[in-house]
Amino acid sequence: MKQNNKNKTKFIKIFLLIIIIFAFSNILYSQTYINGKYAYRINLPKTWKISYEPSPENADLVVAENENGSTLSVIIYDDGYYAGKTIENVGINHFINLLKKSFTDVTFIQSETETIDNNKILYATYYAKKDDDNMQIGQYYFLNGTLLYVIQLEAKVNLFPSFEETAKGYVYTFSLTGSKTGKFVSNTKYNFRIAFPEGWTVQSTYIPYKAMDNTNLAIITVDVYDNDEFKGINAKDLDFEELIEGIREKRKDLRVDLKIYTTVDGIPAAHLKYDATEVRGGKQQKITFLDYYIIRESFFYFIQSSVPVGMYLNYKDRFKAVIESFQFTK
């Protein structure tokens, strides 16, 4: 029996190191932007300059610009004209006319149909002029009710092929959240419910769940992993030094403030509070992280709240309320 527990502990150590490194690698080069007004999410490069019009929480236009001046944009048109129509009904000439509002000498190249987030999307490319520069444009079109979502790739002609290859990786992360600003969410597969702060934008169509406040600086994430090796152990079997070692792989300046075993909904949990540097809000800044690790049956639950250090005291009670709201439903 002791040997079995040793094997399980060894598995947990390797497993935690893998998922922590994977999680931080995934967010090291990108940031998830969630738009509550139009109910969509998309990953954007952390190192690019991001701008929002009129504001991050209500953006009709989001622009991510790289060091060469090439841009990836999400543009929203809200017009009753689109209600009940398909991309084919609207037609390519309509999209060309929209492009002509920003470019001259627009010439259609080609189009093709793709599937993103299980939705049929048209991708069309064009040549155009912007001031004296020869540009190439790629646009993805998706209709949902009265909304036309346009994801636009823009670069000088000689830069477009390599830019398109990079930018498409971010385009494919686009999805409708299925949930505008909300509070309570539950998951029948992993048997839990949780209450996010009132007024926050919540992505709850798939795991990991993610909630952001209107500054996009405070973030709460809930992730779950399923593996039979977790059966027969609980969070008190986790080694804090191994957890910290895994996090430090990607956060070299990690400073641990608190490490304790506690309970969440009566189930043992390991809790870490630490500070580390991360790009958030378009700049490098110190972030306070509150991590909770819970093991129940074959499920490993990871709940993380984070916010810039200088804002932490204003969010402390809200983060606490979220953890206290977490409940197992069976």
Q: Is 189 exposed, middle or buried (0-12, 13-18, 19+ CB in 10 A)?
A: exposed
Confidence class of residue 246 from pLDDT cuts 50, 70 and 90?
confident
Structural domains for the chain: 2-29+178-328 (3.40.1000.10), 39-176 (3.40.1000.10)
From 69-78, 110-119, 289-298, the region with the lowest mean pLDDT: 110-119
Q: Is 60 exposed, middle or buried (0-12, 13-18, 19+ CB in 10 A)?
A: middle
Q: Look at residue 180 and tell me whether its pLDDT is greater than 50.
A: no
Stretch 179-192: mean pLDDT: 73
Q: Look at residue 10 and tell me whether its pLDDT is greater than 60.
A: no
Q: What is the rounded average pLDDT for all residues in the chain?
A: 87
pLDDT of residue 46: 81
pLDDT of residue 101: 94
* Token pair listed for 234: 């609980």
Q: Look at residue 250 and tell me whether its pLDDT is greater than 60.
A: yes
Give which of 204, 194, 151 is closest to 324, Cα–Cα.
194
From 25-34, 70-79, 90-99, the region with the lowest mean pLDDT: 25-34
Contacts of 119 (CB under 8 A, 6+ apart): 142, 176
Torsion of CA 37, 40, 46, 49, to 10 degrees: -50
User: Taking a C-beta distance cutoff of 8 angstroms, is the pair 274, 254 a contact?
Assistant: yes
Angle separating helix axes 2-28 and 240-248, nearest 10 degrees: 30
% of the chain with per-residue pLDDT over 70: 88
Residue with tokens 């639950």: 301
Which residues are registered as beta bridge partners of 166?
none
User: Taking a C-beta distance cutoff of 8 angstroms, is the pair 304, 287 a contact?
Assistant: no
Q: How far is CA 240 from CA 218, 246, 304, 323, in A?
A: 25, 10, 16, 20
The type of residue at 247 is I
Longest CA–CA span in the chain (Å) reads 75
What's the pLDDT tens digit per position in 110-140? 999 987 766 789 999 999 999 999 999 999 9
Stretch 274-300: mean pLDDT: 93
Q: Look at residue 29 and tell me whether its pLDDT is greater than 70.
A: no
Highest mean pLDDT among 20-29, 181-190, 207-216: 207-216
Q: Look at residue 61 and tell me whether its pLDDT is greater than 50.
A: yes
Confidence class of residue 16 from pLDDT cuts 50, 70 and 90?
low
